[in-house]
């Protein structure tokens, strides 16, 4: 199972929405496609799914261009779209049949998914009577009803309460564990960080950062020190050249210099111990995806300015 | 094809399930029943009028006759009116006001005031209570004319018998239609059904497309099926709704007609010498015509992102439909077929409206019908191709309504 995207380019008039984008997914799991609004995430997905013609480049699933006749992929768009006046079971069966299932297969799959997502009681209700979260579940079922191998989820967690988020979380984890390839597009960096092994960070149609998330973070090195100790310890950290980022009731978060951060922290720890200060917390951390995102985008925007 | 069929079936089921569909049906049925009740009543009313003022004479009517012409024609007129059973009261100018007051109490009474104009011509004014008066003004007018001419002929030396014969002889003109009254009525009804179907179901197709776009269902749909297949499915589905509704109404009308018809029905229901194969041809024109307009509406529906923009987007289609209806439907009827009837059969937009009149006139000229049908079907196929392109390019466009030049660019971009 592999999705190879090479030099994907899309122009709308003078504007280049996606420019020479390349990435490949060779193992099942969740791949993150992140970026600002208008970065080109949805356009990229639409090109891969053959919903928009590709101006240049290619997108191959198992060596072949993705075609609707293959019917082995699912797409949950960012803007939820279900028939408001139609009964839940009727539209699920309709979408199932459109994606190649027989009527009986569609009914069976719809019922199974509804049970899994705890919406069986709404089976015969028109979709408009369901809450936003439940409508989102119906949308997800319509995406997965035909058991696709390649799944695109555009902002799957938006508008979900914590309980439903947990339900979606378990479902996505199960699908990844069962060998599905999932491409998740999201603004919620914490969510992407939680699921995705690999990412592409898009900005204005260009890939700013790509690759294995852990490696990307390692590339940044340690950028913060969380120190839980006495006031004297904080003063020593300040003298060692660390920048106070955040002061919490029980601890402080310090920013580390770009160079020799680990050596500076090791020396600080030695100095603290020498001064008989035993810190309750001394944690070196890598940047979050959110921080990487802000850093990369602001650098590009600064460069542009 | 399977996907088009699935879309068609879903569209049909959803349309039939809607309350609006059943409300429309109930309104049509009420209108149908209303017509069936009113038509015999209209016929009955004619009969009553004939009984009172037709061949049976002018019974129950009263004429207050005032002659200020000083002519000697008054007496024969009075005599003649009385012979027809009318009550005639000769009045003087002093009694005019009293007589005018009397006619306000009696809708079957009138003042017949005879004067002489400046040029010496006789002038008969018939003053009735109001427009709903039962007074047989036309009959009385004709009778006064007859008596005046008769008197003038006598004065000119014509013998009484000769004058009577001359005045009684007339050419009887009776308009008849080769295909009968029912055929003319049927072509009018079919034209109206065609127009209603094109308008209401064409608009429904556009509405369905625009709704799917505005609610973003389209994004889910086009992942599953190619846009042209969805388009074809929608057109077939909505067309089936129209066809089922039309056939249902025709069946009910037929059943009601069978139940209410009688030997003395005012309208002859025979379709004359019309060929049996006209029915399938009409059905074909109906389907092709509907498809042609539905495809245009679907294209226009795909160009909007918000339902409130739909009406303005559909305006060009509405104008084309209207012009085609008048040119194609009423043109051959008003001009009596001929060159106009032939010409509009060769224009794909007007042919579906012209077909009922042309086919039901009994003149089934294959040199007209065959090329006309080929042009129409060819146009539907060509338009399906164009509509598929426009629909595919437009359905994922959101924001302001697409202009025609933008659609052109999108279609061009989609070719890459």
Domains defined along chain B, listed by start: 59-168 (3.40.190), 179-414 (no CATH)
Taking only the tens place, the pLDDT of each residue in A167-202 is 888 899 899 898 899 999 887 788 888 888 889 988
Pick the residue from chain A with its C-alpha nearest to B222: A51
What whole-number distance in Å separates Cα of residue B401 and Cα of residue A176?
41
Determine the pLDDT at residue B34: 79
Residue A266 has a pLDDT of 92
Structure tokens at A73: 């992929």
Burial B25-42 (b: 16+ CB within 10 A, else e): eeebeeebeeeeeeebee
- Across the interface, of B7, B10, B219, the residue whose CB is closest to A81 is B219
Spatial separation of the C-alpha atoms in residues B35 and A42, rounded to whole Å: 57
- Chain B residues closer than 8 Å to A82 by CB: 215, 217, 220
Name which of B3, B223, B396 is nearest A75 (Cβ-Cβ).
Answer: B223
Q: At what angle do helices A132-144 and B217-224 cross, to 10 degrees?
A: 10
A124 at B interface, C-beta within 8 A: no
Residue B386: partners with Cβ closer than 8 Å, 6 or more residues away: B299
Chain B hits for A141, CB-CB cut-off 8 Å, are: none
Q: Residues 160..219 of B with a Cβ closer than 8 Å to A: which?
A: 212, 215-219
Q: B352, B289 in Cβ contact below 8 A? A: yes
pLDDT digits (tens, 9 = 90+) for A204-251: 888 888 888 888 888 888 888 998 888 788 888 888 889 999 888 889
Q: What is the pLDDT of residue B402?
A: 66
pLDDT band at A141 (very low <50, low <70, confident <90, very high): very high
CB < 8 Å from B in window 143-182 of A: 143
Q: Which residue has the tokens 């995207």?
A: A5
d(CA A110, CA A123): 9
Structural domains of chain A in order of their starting residue, each with its CATH number: 3-218 (3.40.50.300), 222-285 (3.30.70)
From A46, A82, A98, residue closest to B224, measured CB to CB: A98
CA distance B122 to A145: 93
Half-sphere exposure at residue A113, Cβ-oriented, CA atoms within 13 angstroms = 27
For each of chain B's 416 residues, which pLDDT tens digit applies? 788 889 999 989 888 888 878 888 888 788 877 777 766 555 444 433 333 334 456 777 899 998 887 777 778 888 888 888 889 998 989 999 999 988 888 888 999 888 887 777 778 889 988 777 788 888 888 888 888 888 888 888 888 888 888 877 766 666 555 555 556 666 777 777 788 878 888 888 888 888 888 777 887 887 777 888 888 888 889 888 888 887 887 788 777 766 655 444 444 444 455 566 777 888 888 888 888 988 888 888 888 877 788 888 888 888 988 898 888 877 776 665 567 777 888 889 988 888 877 777 666 677 788 898 999 999 999 988 888 878 777 776 666 666 666 766 666 666 55
Q: Does A49 touch chain B (CB under 8 A)?
A: yes
What is the per-residue DSSP string for B367-388? HHHHHHHHHHHHHHHHHHHHHH
Q: Are A19 and A202 in contact (CB under 8 A)?
A: no
CB B205 within 8 A of CB B383: no
Q: What percent of chain A has pLDDT over 70?
A: 98
Burial of A14 (0-12, 13-18, 19+ CB in 10 A): exposed
Question: Rounded CA gap, B365 and A164, in Å?
Answer: 69
Q: Report chain A residues whose CB lies below 8 A from the CB of B212.
A: 81
pLDDT for res B162: 85
**β partners of residue B301:** none
Residue of B nearest to A79 (CA): B216
B109-116: strand order across its sheet: B87-91, B62-67, B109-116, B122-128
Instruction: Check residue B43 and give its pLDDT.
Output: 47
> Are A273 and A232 a contacting pair, CB within 8 Å?
no
| Ranges assigned E (strand) in B99-242 | 109-116, 122-128
Q: For residues B79 and B86, is the Cβ–Cβ distance under 8 A?
A: no
Whether the Cβ atoms of residue B310 and residue B301 lie closer than 8 Å to each other: yes
b/e map of B326-355 (b: 16 or more CB within 10 Å)?
ebbbebbbeeebeebbbbbbebbbbbbbbb
**Quick check: A244 contacting B, CB < 8 Å?**
no
Using pLDDT thresholds of 50, 70 and 90, give the confidence band for residue A68: low
pLDDT (tens digit per residue) in B87-130: 999 898 999 999 998 888 888 899 988 888 777 777 888 998 87
What are the Cα distances from residue B30, in Å, to B26, B61, B151, B255, B265?
A: 6, 38, 56, 15, 21
Q: Which residues pair with A16 in a beta bridge?
A: A11
């Amino acid at each position: 199972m592999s999705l190879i995207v090479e030099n994907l380019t899309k122009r709308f008039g003078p504007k280049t929405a996606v420019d020479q984008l390349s990435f490949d997914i060779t193992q099942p799991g969740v791949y993150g496609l992140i970026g600002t609004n208008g970065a080109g995430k949805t356009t990229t997905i639409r090109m891969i799914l053959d919903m928009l013609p590709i101006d240049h480049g290619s997108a191959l699933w198992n060596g072949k261009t993705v075609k609707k006749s293959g019917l082995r992929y699912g797409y949950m768009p960012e803007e939820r779209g279900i028939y408001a006046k139609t009964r839940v079971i009727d539209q699920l069966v309709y979408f199932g049949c459109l994606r190649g299932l027989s009527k009986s297969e569609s009914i069976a799959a719809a019922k199974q998914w509804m049970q899994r997502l705890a919406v069986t009681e709404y089976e015969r209700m028109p979709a408009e009577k369901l809450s936003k979260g439940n409508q989102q579940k119906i949308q997800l079922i319509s995406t997965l009803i035909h058991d696709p191998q390649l799944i695109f989820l555009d902002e799957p967690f938006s508008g979900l309460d914590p309980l439903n988020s947990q339900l979606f979380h378990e479902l996505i984890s199960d699908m990844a564990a069962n060998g599905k390839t999932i491409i998740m597009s999201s603004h919620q960096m914490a969510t992407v960080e939680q699921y995705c092994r690999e990412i592409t960070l898009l900005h204005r149609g260009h890939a700013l950062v790509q690759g294995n998330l852990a490696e990307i973070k390692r590339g940044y090195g340690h950028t913060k020190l969380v120190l839980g100790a006495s006031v004297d310890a904080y003063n020593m950290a300040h003298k060692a050249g660390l920048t106070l980022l955040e002061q919490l009731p029980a601890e402080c978060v310090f920013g580390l210099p770009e160079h020799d951060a680990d050596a500076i922290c090791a020396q600080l720890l030695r100095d603290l111990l020498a001064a008989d200060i035993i810190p309750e917390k001394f944690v070196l951390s890598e940047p979050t995806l959110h921080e990487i995102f802000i850093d990369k985008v602001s650098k590009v925007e600064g460069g542009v300015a | 094809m399977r996907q088009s069929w699935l879309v068609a079936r879903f569209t049909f089921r959803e349309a039939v399930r809607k309350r609006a569909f059943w409300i429309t049906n109930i309104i049509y049925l009420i209108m149908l029943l209303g017509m069936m009740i009113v038509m015999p009543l209209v016929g009955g009313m004619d009969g009553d009028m004939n009984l009172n003022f037709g061949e049976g004479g002018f019974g129950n009517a009263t004429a207050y006759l005032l002659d200020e012409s000083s002519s000697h024609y008054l007496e024969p007129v009075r005599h003649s009116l009385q012979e027809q059973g009318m009550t005639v009261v000769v009045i003087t100018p002093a009694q005019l006001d009293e007589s005018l007051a009397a006619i306000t109490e009696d809708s079957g009474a009138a003042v017949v005031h005879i004067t002489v104009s400046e040029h010496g011509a006789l002038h008969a004014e018939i003053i009735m209570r109001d427009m709903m008066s039962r007074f047989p003004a036309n009959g009385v007018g004709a009778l006064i004319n007859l008596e005046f001419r008769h008197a003038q002929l006598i004065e000119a030396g014509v013998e009484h018998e000769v004058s009577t014969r001359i005045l009684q002889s007339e050419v009887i003109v009776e308009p008849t239609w080769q295909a009968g009254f029912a055929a003319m009525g049927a072509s009018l009804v079919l034209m109206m059904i065609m127009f209603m179907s094109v308008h209401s179901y064409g608009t429904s197709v556009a509405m369905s497309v625009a709704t799917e776009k505005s609610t973003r269902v389209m994004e889910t749909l086009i992942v599953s099926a190619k846009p042209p297949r969805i388009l074809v499915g929608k057109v077939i589905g909505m067309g089936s709704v129209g066809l089922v509704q039309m056939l249902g109404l025709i069946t009910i009308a037929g059943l009601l007609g069978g139940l209410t018809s009688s030997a003395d029905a005012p309208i002859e229901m025979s379709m004359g010498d019309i060929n049996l194969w006209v029915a399938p041809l009409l059905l074909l024109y109906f389907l092709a015509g509907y498809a042609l307009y539905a495809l245009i509406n679907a294209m226009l529906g795909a160009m909007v992102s918000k339902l409130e923009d739909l009406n303005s987007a559909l305006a060009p289609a509405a104008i084309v439909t209207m012009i085609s209806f008048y040119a194609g439907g009423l043109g051959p009827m008003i001009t009596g077929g001929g060159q106009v009837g032939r010409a509009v059969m060769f224009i794909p937009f007007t042919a579906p409206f012209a077909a009922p009149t042309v086919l039901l006139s009994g003149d089934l000229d294959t040199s007209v019908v065959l090329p006309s049908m080929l042009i129409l079907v060819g146009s539907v196929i060509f338009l399906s191709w164009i509509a598929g392109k426009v629909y595919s390019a437009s359905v994922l466009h959101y924001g302001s309504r697409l202009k025609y030049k933008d659609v052109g660019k999108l279609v061009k971009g989609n070719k890459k």
